Amino acid sequence: MTVPRVVLAEDDVLLREGLASLLDRSGFAVAGQAGDATALLDLVREHRPDLVLVDVRMPPTHTVEGLEAARTIREELPEIGILVLSAHADVDHAMELLAGGRGIGYLLKSRVADVGEFLDTLRRIAKGGSVVEPALVQELVEARHRNDPLAALSAREREVLGLMAEGRSNAGIARRLWVTEGTVEKHVRSVLAKLDLPETTDDHRRVLAVLAYLDNR
């Protein structure tokens, strides 16, 4: 089994070293570490890893250097998976990233505390999946007007919608909710019908479709 190779970019040395140690113990190979976006790009071009893990805010201005580096990597080496970590949920950043194709993720740093979930996210992105921060979905849902079609979703359907936006397959959602895959399929069909979205088995397109719908309401 091939070990996924990762390049890390985080200017907080303690966090970076902690992530590197976690990945080394969890079936990943850390090919390089960077403290700024320039060093990140150099390492990625040299090592051609399977996955890049990068903070949105990097030196020197601590604004969107990490995001810009991720955009450059996607343009030059589109086969590399990218997970961007952010301290705050930013809808525009997430939508821009997800529009870049498969193998893309946007996650809040607080999610790293759930080690199992975090590692599962990395593996899914390395395999070409797309993952978006659940808080973004919740933020968009809560911002809608009462007459929005989202109001027609049941509590369980909203839960399924959130897991769809994380890039999970129907089987993955079933495992998370402790229900049968057939039950999830019914919920997904209902959600897509109520939101007037086409049915598709492609995880990335499901994420894009749901978020694009929510973001443009």
Instruction: Judge if 102 and 166 occupy the same domain.
Output: no
pLDDT surpasses 70 at 212? no
The pLDDT, as a whole number, for residue 29 is 96
The CATH number of the domain holding residue 174 is 1.10.10.10
Q: List, for residues 8-28, the tens digit of each pLDDT value.
A: 999 999 999 999 999 999 999
Last residue of a domain, one of 89, 117, 132: 132
Q: Are residues 68 and 159 in the same domain?
A: no
Higher pLDDT, 40 or 92: 40
Looking at the fold, whether 112 and 172 belong to one and the same domain comes out as: no
One domain, residues 60 and 80: yes
Last residue of a domain, one of 132, 166, 193: 132
Is the same domain home to 57 and 128? yes
Nearest to 133 by CA among 87, 65, 179: 87
Give the structural domain span for 85. Answer: 5-132
How confident is the model at residue 201, as a pLDDT? 66
Does pLDDT of 38 surpass 90?
A: yes
What is the percentage of the chain residues whose pLDDT exceeds 70? 82
Rounded to two decimals, the pTM is 0.71
Condensed to tens digits (0 to 9), the pLDDT of residues 147-176 reads: 566 777 888 988 898 888 777 888 989 999
Q: Is the pLDDT of residue 178 over 90?
A: yes
203 lies in the same domain as 101: no
Domain count, the chain: 2
